[in-house]
Amino acid sequence: MSFKRVWSATGVVALTGALLLTTASTASADYVRDQQWALNAFAADDVWAESQGQGVTVAVVDSGVDASHPDLSGQVLAGKDFTGGGNAREDLVGHGTKMASIIAGHGHGSGNDSGVVGLAPKAKILPLRTLQTRNDKNLEETWGPAVRYAVDQGAKVINLSFGSDGGSKTTSDGREAIAYAQAHDVVVVAAAGNEGIGSVIEPAALPGVVSVGAVDEKANLWTDSNTGKGLTLTAPGVEIVGANSTMSNGYGESSGTSEATAYASAAAALVRSKYPDLSAGQVINRLIKTATFAHHKGLKAPDEEYGYGIVRPYSALTMDIPAGSKKNPLGQLQSSSVSSQSSKGTDSSTQAKKKKKSSSGSLLLIGGIAAVVVIGAIAFVVIRSRRNGGSGGPGSGGGSPQHPTYPSAQQPYPNSAPNQGYSTPPGQFPQPPNSYSQQPPHQGQ
Please classify residue 331 by burial: count the beta carbons closer than 10 Å to its beta carbon, then call 0-12 exposed, 13-18 middle and 19+ buried: buried
In this prediction the pTM is 0.75
Q: Which fold has domain 4-318?
A: Rossmann fold (3.40.50)
DSSP letter assigned to residue 14: E
Annotation says 95 is catalytic: yes
Q: Which of 51, 69, 91, 95 is catalytic?
A: 95
Per the annotation, the verdict on 295 as an active-site residue is: no
Specify the DSSP element, H or E, that contains 252: strand 251-254
Least confident of 85-89, 173-177, 194-198, 423-427: 423-427
Q: How many CB atoms lie within 10 A of CB 222?
A: 24
For the stretch 165-202, pLDDT in tens is 666 889 899 999 999 999 999 999 999 999 999 999 99
| pLDDT, tens digit (0-9, with 9 covering 90-100), for 227-280 | 999 999 999 999 999 999 899 889 999 999 999 999 999 999 999 999 999 999
Where does the pLDDT of residue 3 fall: very low under 50, low under 70, confident under 90, or very high at 90 and above? very low
Q: What are phi and psi of 221, to 5 degrees?
A: -60, 135
Measure the CA–CA gap between 185 and 156, rounded to whole angstroms.
7
User: How far apart are alpha carbons 180 and 159 in whole angstroms?
Assistant: 15
Give me the pLDDT at residue 264, please. Answer: 98
Using the predicted structure, report yes or no on whether residue 106 has a pLDDT greater than 90.
yes
Which of 15-29, 149-163, 384-398 is predicted with the least confidence, judged by mean pLDDT? Answer: 384-398
Give which of 212, 260, 211 is closest to 404, Cα–Cα.
211
In the 3-class helix/strand/coil scheme, how is 392-415 assigned residue by residue? CCCCCCCCCCCCCCCCCCCCCCCC
> What pLDDT, on the 0 to 100 scale, is given for residue 85?
79
* Closest residue by Cα to residue 143 from 99, 173, 98: 173
The per-residue pLDDT for range 44-80, each reduced to its tens digit, is: 999 999 999 999 999 999 999 999 999 999 999 999 9
Out of 46, 51, 62, 66, the active site residue is 62
- Partner residues linked to 13 by β-bridges: 7
Query: Alpha carbon 268 to chain centroid distance?
Result: 9
pLDDT value of residue 251? 93
Band of the pLDDT at 334, cuts 50, 70, 90? confident
402 confidence band (pLDDT: 50, 70, 90)? very low
Average pLDDT over residues 314-321: 97
258 is catalytic: yes
pLDDT recorded at residue 131: 93
Q: How confident is the model at residue 403 (pLDDT cuts 50, 70, 90)?
A: very low
* Buried b or exposed e, range 30-67, using 16+ CB within 10 angstroms: eebbebbebbbbbbbebbbeebbbeebbbbbbbbbbbb
Does position 12 have pLDDT exceeding 70, yes or no? no
Position 84 scores a pLDDT of 87
- Catalytic annotation, pick one of 258, 265, 315, 335: 258
Task: Report pLDDT for 249.
Answer: 87
Window from 142-146, 280-284, 417-421 with minimum mean pLDDT: 417-421
The pLDDT of 18-34, averaged and rounded, is 60
Pairing of strands 240-243, 187-191: unpaired
Cα–Cα distance for residue pair 57/67, rounded to 1 Å? 15
